[in-house]
Chain A
Amino acid sequence: MGVILLLADSGDGWALQVEQTFLRRHQAVQRIESKSLVESLALNWRLDGSVHSAILSTALGSPQENSCAELLGVLVRTNLAALEIPDGFVAPGDRDYVQMEWSAALCGWLKALTCPVVNTIVPGRSANLPPSHGSVRMALGQAGFIASPQVLVSDSSRAMDWFDRWKRRAFLLPLGTGHGLQYLQGVGGHEVMAEAILAGPAILQPVPEGTRLRAFVVGNAVVGGVWRSAVQDRCLREAVLDATTLPPGLSQQCRKLARHLDLVFAQIDLVWGRDEVTFCQGVSSSPDYWSCSDALRGLLVRHLVAVLDHTQE
């Protein structure tokens, strides 16, 4: 029986639920924490895959060798760019080099695997991409989405000017921080934006007229998320998403977009406007677990499990 490998910490909601699901089914699953990744993994693979290809793990206390051929699927939630090298593992002067080499090795290994990898790492690409990003812009056009106007600001007074000009409603994507897209409104939005700009530059987008949606693509499945009406007007980071069914045409567009970006698991922020014109505010390869309702999480986890154990239609 194949093994499911989870590269994720115990605080990662998606990985934890996926792990629990497989454990309940008595399916072999192995989760490796980021802090013990380089100590736990022994990589050994030939690029042509013709000879012994193995991943040897001591993560569970006793040495356990899993051939790559036995891997059913891999869920990657660890930030490989910031791999933890434990103290004392290597000489301090070698630490950065060792980190880069591990990162490069894992990135190549994930690319070479023939089983589902959720998600393969694209070197140099951030998890949260604005519509202005070259690869996204091209993919949006191919999928039939419209990109909203955007402005990059790195000065809070200029950011406030834009926010006021857009009647105090905007989407904010901080750059280089790992934080995802946020919906800002009113005085609360001002505060969140000021805090974000202090930490670094951000992309701001006005909010088009229409219904704000969040679509999740998991393999072939597309699940919609709609913001609970009671909190529709609050900042995105305080709101909760409920599952909804998206129109087939829109689902197909989302599927296409994720495929163009080589993402198995993707979060797509949308505004469904008049005449069924859909604006895209951003794409993330690291969907936000915490904004989803329990029911939506359960649905997405079921799809993740189906992708990883090859049972998705």
Chain B
Amino acid sequence: MILLFGRIADPIIASLTVQLAARSTDLMVIDPAHSPVDEAVEWESDGNALLGFLRIDRRAIDASSIRSMYVREIGWAVTGATGGQTPGGSRARAESLWAFIEAYGGLVINRRIAGCTNASKPYQLELIRKQGFHVPQTLVTTDPEAARLFWEEFGGAVIYKSLSAERSIVKRMTVADIGRLGLLHTCPLQLQEFIPGVDVRVHVVGERIFATEIRSEAADYRYAERVGAGREMRPIDLPPDVAARCVTLTKSLGLVVAGVDLRRAADGEYYCFEANPSPAFLWFEDMTGQRIGEAIVELLCRGTVWN
């Protein structure tokens, strides 16, 4: 049995479900949108492994039959850097399921703590730097003057983005933004030197990697259309040392699957910006034909990262 946690309408859950079903895999989608919020969840552990049955959604799942889990959404989203939560379902049910996932000793893509490292981007950046990646010069500040000096230091080649996991569009800081720096005293901002170069998104799936090169004039290639910029994407082979570092970084963060954002600078150096613990890989599959979902499905079926 493979458990998929997430909404069936979520394209990633839908895609994995179809691929697993095509392999006649025994699977169950635990959809927070279609589960009774007041239902009791129960599980047992002997201290090392789950025992008996997980009782959920009026079903009893034999714990020993669970081969792996894929966690996209539990229903009570973790949003704060320290695991603060916002409503979106039954808190009690979500807590029970998270505890169940943590108690499961087998393959989980991905566990909660591992998935939370990018809830604080500067926290994760420290971990990335320790793995030997170049990281951009970064200032976290609530001081307008410090922000202005940072901008000047890099000749205006500075981007800003959110500090938390809240999705934000990466933007170049402009002269017009200088006038708004007074707002900083209420909310810290993350500024980074702009690294000219080519974006590379690396999807790490266990020990396999899928690297996609993205060429775009936009500061954030995901939103190139919005700023009238173009975008070209193609699969590439990474230098072996960079590829190995991506796998090591993913493991060191406790992740099994990650979307690692790199940029290759003009001098050939690779900078790492962040590692996304729940990458929306379908878009990259559509644009490049890379079979990332298939690799995830293979992992889930195998039940281990190792062959």
User: Which residues on A are within 8 Å of B, measured CB to CB?
Assistant: 38, 41-48, 52, 56, 79-82, 89-90, 94, 96-109, 111-112, 121-126, 130-135, 137, 146-155, 158, 175-176, 200-201, 203
Contact = CB atoms under 8 A, between A and B. Distances in A.
Contacts of A107: 81-82, 119-120, 122-123
B105 A111 contact: no
B113 A97 contact: no
A153 B42 contact: yes
A42 B185 CA distance: 7
The 6 closest A-B pairs by CB, nearest first: A124-B116, A108-B122, A147-B47, A81-B84, A81-B82, A132-B103
Interface string B83-126: 11110000111011001101101001001110111011111011
Given A123-B117, A133-B103, A150-B103, A108 B45 contact: no
B56 to A, nearest CB: 10
B121 A108 contact: yes
Nearest to A173: B99
Contact of B102 (A133, A151, A158): A133
- If over half of B's interface residues share one DSSP class (helix, strand or loop), that class is named, otherwise mixed; here it is mixed
A132 B146 contact: no
A100 B186 contact: no
A135 B113 contact: yes
Contacts of B120: 103-105, 107-108, 111, 123
Given A98-B186, A104-B121, A109-B140, A121 B103 contact: no
- If over half of A's interface residues share one DSSP class (helix, strand or loop), that class is named, otherwise mixed; here it is mixed
Interface of B: 40-48, 51, 78-86, 91-93, 95-96, 99-100, 102-103, 105, 108, 111-113, 115-117, 119-123, 125-126, 129, 135, 137-143, 146, 162-166, 185-188, 190
Given A100-B80, A108-B163, A176 B143 contact: no
Contact of A108 (B42, B84, B95, B125): B125
Contact of A176 (B95, B140, B190): B95
B35 to A, nearest CB: 13
A137 B101 CA distance: 13
14 contacts: A43-B141, A46-B137, A47-B135, A104-B164, A108-B163, A109-B140, A111-B122, A123-B83, A123-B117, A124-B83, A125-B83, A149-B44, A151-B43, A154-B96
Contacts of B165: 100, 104
B125 A43 contact: no
A44 B113 contact: no
B307 to A, nearest CB: 22
A149 B130 CA distance: 37
A105 B140 contact: yes
A105 B139 CA distance: 11
A201 B186 contact: no
B81 A81 contact: yes
Q: Which of A103, A105, A137 has the most CB of B within 10 A?
A: A105
A64 to B, nearest CB: 15
Given A46-B139, A107-B82, A124 B115 contact: yes
A158 B138 contact: no
Given A82-B84, A150-B103, A47 B187 contact: no
Given A47-B125, A100-B81, 19 more contacts: A38-B186, A41-B142, A44-B139, A44-B146, A48-B138, A81-B82, A81-B84, A89-B186, A100-B164, A101-B187, A104-B80, A104-B120, A108-B81, A108-B125, A124-B113, A130-B99, A132-B47, A133-B99, A133-B103
A149 B303 CA distance: 24
Contacts of A176: 85, 91-92, 95
Contact of A102 (B111, B123, B129, B187): B187
A185 B116 CA distance: 37
B187 to A, nearest CB: 5
Nearest to B277: A124
B126 A201 contact: no
A52 B119 contact: no
A105 B42 contact: no
Given A90-B186, A108-B140, A147-B47, A154 B42 contact: yes
Contacts of B82: 79-81, 103, 107, 121, 123-125
A190 B151 CA distance: 62
Given A44-B142, A149-B46, A200-B92, A100 B166 contact: yes
Given A111-B122, A123-B119, A137-B105, A201 B99 contact: yes
A125 B95 CA distance: 12
Contacts of A101: 162-164, 166, 187-188
B187 A104 contact: no
A133 B140 CA distance: 32
